[in-house]
Each structure stands twice: as C-alpha cells, then as structure tokens.
C-alpha cells in the first residue's frame, strides 16, 4: 500500500483563518469535541419598532396613549438589548467552535505526520531484520541446511506464513531465534503502522474540512455582530430620546433610569443562577479534548546510532513506574523482621558458654556487627557498655528536630501574596488572600496582571487574539493565570472541565473563574475572573474591550464556578 507523505491541510486553511479572525489566528491547546460544529447566523437588527415623530406627538395627546407608547418603547429597548446580546453570543460561540476545530486539526495533522515517520522507521526495521535473516540463512547453508528450507525463509511472496513455516527453527541457536522473532515483529509493525497512518491521514483531512466550515461560520457571525452594534446603539439612543419627550424629563435622567432597570434585571438573572446552584451537578465524566483514533497506536520506533551504521529499533516501554511503588515497601518491612531471626547466634554458638547469655539479647548481635554504638548499651558487658555513648543518641533527636519546625514556620508567609491587593483596592483587595488557605495557591499575580491589562488602553479584544496586546476571553484568563504559575487550557470549555474543583456562585473567592453557557453547561463560550466585591475582570467583546464589571453583567452565567 502506498504511503501518503503529503500533509498540506494546515497551509491550505491559513489564509482563510487570517481573514476570519481579522489577523488573529487560534493557538494550539486542548479542545472540546462537545462544542457545536456550527452556529446559526444571527439576523441583522431591525429598527421597525422605532416610532415616528408623528406617533410620538400623537401619543402625547392623552395619558393613556402616552403610557402605551412608553410601554412600547421600553419593550423595544429590551428587544434591542436582547438582539445585540444574541448576536454577540453567537459570535462568541462560533469563535469557540473555531478554536476547537483548529486545535483538533493541528492534533490530527501532527498524528498523521508522526504515523508517516513511524511507518518509515518500521520499514527500515524490517529491512534490517531481513538482512540479519540472510546472514543466518547463509550460515545454515554452509552448515548443510536444505535449500528448500532456505527458500521458504527468504520468500517475500509468502510474508504472512514466512516464519510460521520455518522448518529450521529447532536447529537455530538462541541468538538466531531472536533474530527470526525480530523480523516477525518488524513485519507486524509495518502492517500496524500502515493501518494507523491511513486512519490518521483520513482523520486529518476530516478535521481540516471541519475547520474550514467552522471558519466560515465564525466569519459570518462576526460580520453580523459587527454590523449590528452601531444600528442597535443608534436605535437605543433614539428610543431613550422618545422616552424623554414623553416623560418630559432630561434625557440623561431617562438614560440613568433605563440603565438602573436593566441592572436590576441582570441582578435578577444572577439571583436565579445562584438559586439553581444546589441542583446543578457538574458531569463526573469530563469531555475529552479530542477523541482518540479508532485504530490503536502501535509501538513506536526510534533511530539509534551504532559504530558501523544507523539503525532503528522499537522504543523501550517504560516500566520503571512500577518498581518504585514496590521498592519502598520492602525496605520498611525487612528491618523489623530481620532483627527477629537469629541466624548469626548459631554461628556465634561456637563458644558454648556464650549462647546461654546471648539467648536473651538475640536480636542485638545481628545489629552490633555494624552499628555497635547504638545497641551495645543493652548488653551487660561492662566494656561494651562504656563505649556506647548514650549521650550521642540524645543530641541527634534534640538538635535535629528543632531546626525543622523553625523552617516550616517560615514558609507560612503566604501573606506575601497580599501586597498585590493594593492594585485591587477598588474591586476587592481584602479578599484576595481568601483562596490561599483552601487551595494553597496565590492568585494575586494573576489578578494584578488582569487589572493592569484592563487599565491599559493599548490592550484590546479580538476574537481569537492570543496577546500580547489583543486577547479574547479565554486567552486573557489563560495569560493571567500564567502569571501565578497556573496553566490553563486555551478554550473556555476546557478551562471549565479541566478545573480540579467547582464551587457555587454564593461561595466565590478571588481567583475563581465564572462561565457563560447557552446549553446548560455542555460547553461554554465566555470566561471571566472573579476579583471580589461582586466584580469580575474579563475580555468582554470587541465593542466593550477588556474591563472590570459587576458579576451580574456576565450573560447566561453558569451556576458553578471553577477553582484552580
């Protein structure tokens, strides 16, 4: 079967990815196959609910008509805000899907490239083994083996039965048997790696096609969102202006009242999420980043350098992890039991009078051969009792035990992480030390970096942005946590499912991650960093940028948070 060496799927989609993400390409990290492969494209916003000036003037003629028009405008405001939130959510979902598709594509491509390389190694390994068989056959022939048997061993047309029908097996030395088995193993590896390479290549091509489809969807939803922002803003301003006319109030006062009402609605949504946190259960079986291939990966091979020529051999399977677990148990059990048997007293029984006395301290003679000072204190011989400085045993426990407590008390300054809350004075400086007693980790550096970045006008939001200046929500949290030495996956979904611990929204501490979901927690499209006092810092969207907001401003908030 011919081997496919051409794997150019990554290069073919590079230009498309660049156009979709406005210059930002997704980075490689863990992915989620549970994320939707495609997202419905939002419709462009409509200003059909905007009343005309004539309708406004007509509504002012009576109180009832004025109230009815106010109710219509308030409904239009809510509809406009919901529409903008919808197109923003769909764009974020499409971007998460694109990140996942890109990372699966990269992984599949790497698997296919590795399979091609390993197949080449397997073929080289088979060639080497056949060469060794040829030398064996020549030796057998010189020693009188039959030509028919030799032909059977070296017949390439009968590879499947080559070694099972070998009639000279009993005549071969152990070294020769090993060579025959090696050749058989090499033949099996070639077959296995060929099958794996075909499967990996097929999966790579499929992943590349999925990425192209995800990129097209992301591009469409992004354009829809960008085209909706300004019209919705304009519609909102005009509706507030009409309200101001109808209510005969200053436009600033009306705008403030509208924003207060919207904040109350957002808080109600947060309260609802908190109310359902007790009934929300995180799936015990977390979704895998990328499902493994249907074909199991064969044993890997590696090149080796010898004095004569370069060769290839199978990689040694590392089994060293099994022995360390058993080794500690043996030494711990041996000292206690080796003191009880008395094999040495039997040898020391040559002087007949002594065994009667040594019968009492039988366990001691076995140990007095080497560490005499420690256990010669018990034997009654006067000469041996004096050299055993019982005082030497005292300084060891007294002086060696004291320094350790002093050093264990010093590392406790986990409070050294608290100075950084000076930068978080506005959001929640006093609670930045709360997570440390429970998790043993300090999030101060992560929060400090996030707040500094949010205040930096040169930092901004871009879908698929990976820094150092442009970020999306998950790359922002990933970079922030990296400041505290905590490694996060790339996507929001994997950042949630990779967390070692989950907490309810009513028990949030600074450093916890909160998430947005539109499907009940099967996947997530947004992540924010909780900083205390009911606030979060997050990369929100291209319009709002990177900023600190109330927790209630996180739309579609999931009722569980992740704690690393």
For the chain, how far is it from start to end, CA to CA, in angstroms? 49
pTM check: above 0.75: no
Q: What is the pLDDT of residue 275?
A: 92
CA pair distance 93, 99, nearest whole angstrom: 10
> Is the previous residue joined to 499 through a cis bond, with omega within 30 degrees of 0?
no
Across 192-349, where does the E strand assignment appear?
Answer: 301-305, 310-314
| Among 184, 172, 188, CA closest to 135 | 172
Look at residue 354 in the predicted model and tell me its pLDDT: 43
Give the model confidence (pLDDT) of 535-560 as tens digits.
999 999 998 999 999 999 999 999 99
The answer to whether the CB of 115 falls within 8 A of the CB of 200 is: yes
Condensed to tens digits (0 to 9), the pLDDT of residues 168-209 reads 455 556 777 777 888 889 999 999 999 999 999 999 999 999
Is the confidence at residue 562, as pLDDT, over 70? yes
User: Is 50 exceeded by the pLDDT of residue 444?
Assistant: yes
Q: Kindly report the average pLDDT of the chain as a whole number.
A: 74
pLDDT at 335 over 50: no
Task: Give me the mean pLDDT over the 46-56 stretch.
Answer: 76
98-107, 170-179, 428-437, 535-544: which range is least confident on average? 428-437
Kindly list the structural domains of the chain, giving each domain's residue range(s) and its CATH number in brackets, ordered by start.
Answer: 28-248 (no CATH), 419-563 (3.90.1720.10)
Neighbours of 227 (CB within 10 A): 14
Residue 528: which H helix or E strand, with range?
A: strand 526-532
Amino acid 316: pLDDT: 82
Mean pLDDT lowest among 78-82, 195-199, 380-384, 435-439: 380-384
What is the helix (H) or strand (E) element at residue 146, kind and residue range? none
* d(C-alpha 322, C-alpha 326), whole Å: 7
Say which residue, 497 or 159, is predicted with more confidence. Answer: 497
Q: What is the pLDDT of residue 353?
A: 40
Q: What is the pLDDT of residues 463-486, one digit of tens each?
A: 999 999 999 999 999 999 999 999
User: What whole-number distance in Å separates Cα of residue 170 and Cα of residue 364?
Assistant: 57
What pLDDT was estimated at residue 379?
40
**How distant, in Å, are the alpha carbons of 97, 125, 129, 190, 301 from that of 305?**
45, 14, 16, 21, 13
Give the model's pLDDT for residue 291: 86
């Amino acid at each position: 079967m011919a081997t496919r060496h051409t794997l150019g799927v990554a290069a073919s989609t590079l230009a498309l990815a660049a156009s979709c993400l406005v210059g930002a390409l997704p980075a490689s990290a863990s992915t989620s196959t549970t994320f939707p492969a495609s997202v419905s494209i939002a419709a462009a916003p409509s200003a059909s609910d905007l009343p005309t000036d004539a309708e406004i003037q007509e509504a002012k003629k009576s109180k009832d008509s004025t109230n009815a028009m106010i109710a219509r405008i308030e409904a239009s405001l809510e509809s406009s805000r919901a529409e903008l939130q919808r197109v923003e959510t769909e764009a974020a979902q499409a971007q998460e899907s694109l990140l996942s598709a890109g990372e699966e594509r990269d992984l599949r491509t790497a698997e296919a490239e590795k399979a091609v390389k390993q197949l080449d190694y397997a073929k080289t390994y088979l060639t080497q083994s056949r060469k060794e068989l040829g030398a064996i056959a020549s030796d057998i022939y010189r020693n009188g083996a039959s030509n028919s048997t030799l032909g059977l061993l070296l017949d390439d047309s009968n590879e499947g039965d080559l070694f099972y029908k070998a009639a000279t097996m009993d005549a071969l030395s152990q070294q020769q048997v090993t060579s025959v088995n090696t050749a058989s193993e090499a033949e099996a590896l070639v077959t296995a790696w060929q099958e794996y390479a075909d499967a990996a290549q097929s999966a790579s091509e499929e992943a590349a096609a999925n990425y192209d489809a995800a990129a097209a969807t992301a591009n469409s939803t992004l354009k829809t969102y960008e085209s909706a922002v300004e019209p919705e803003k304009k519609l909102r301003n005009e509706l507030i202006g009409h309200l101001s006319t109808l209510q005969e109030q200053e436009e600033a006062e009306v705008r403030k009242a509208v924003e207060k009402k919207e904040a109350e609605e957002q808080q109600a949504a947060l309260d609802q999420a908190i109310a359902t946190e007790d009934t929300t259960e995180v799936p015990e079986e977390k979704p895998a980043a990328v499902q493994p291939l249907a074909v199991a990966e064969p044993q890997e091979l590696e090149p080796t350098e010898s004095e004569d020529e370069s060769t290839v051999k199978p990689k040694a399977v590392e089994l060293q992890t099994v022995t360390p677990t058993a080794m500690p148990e043996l030494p711990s059990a041996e000292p206690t039991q080796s003191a009880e048997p008395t094999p040495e007293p039997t040898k020391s029984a040559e002087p007949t009078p002594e065994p009667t006395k040594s019968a009492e301290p039988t366990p001691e003679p076995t140990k007095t051969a080497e560490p005499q000072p420690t256990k010669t204190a018990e034997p009654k011989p006067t000469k041996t009792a004096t050299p055993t400085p019982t005082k030497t045993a005292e300084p060891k426990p007294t002086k060696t035990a004291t320094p350790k407590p002093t050093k264990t008390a010093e590392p406790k300054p986990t409070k050294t992480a608290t100075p950084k809350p000076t930068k978080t004075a506005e959001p929640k400086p006093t609670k930045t030390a709360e997570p440390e007693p429970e998790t043993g980790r300090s999030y101060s550096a992560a929060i400090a970096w996030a707040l500094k970045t949010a205040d930096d006008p040169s930092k901004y939001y871009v879908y698929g942005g990976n820094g150092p200046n442009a970020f999306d929500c998950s790359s922002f949290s990933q970079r922030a946590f990296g400041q505290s030495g905590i490694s996060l996956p790339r996507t929001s979904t994997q950042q949630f499912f990779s967390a070692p611990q989950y907490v309810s929204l009513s028990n949030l501490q600074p450093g916890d991650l909160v998430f947005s979901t539109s499907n009940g927690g099967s996947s997530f499209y947004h992540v924010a960093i909780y900083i205390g006092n009911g606030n979060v810092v997050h990369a929100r969207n291209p319009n709002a940028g990177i900023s600190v907001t109330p927790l209630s401003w996180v739309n579609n908030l999931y009722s569980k948070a992740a704690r690393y």
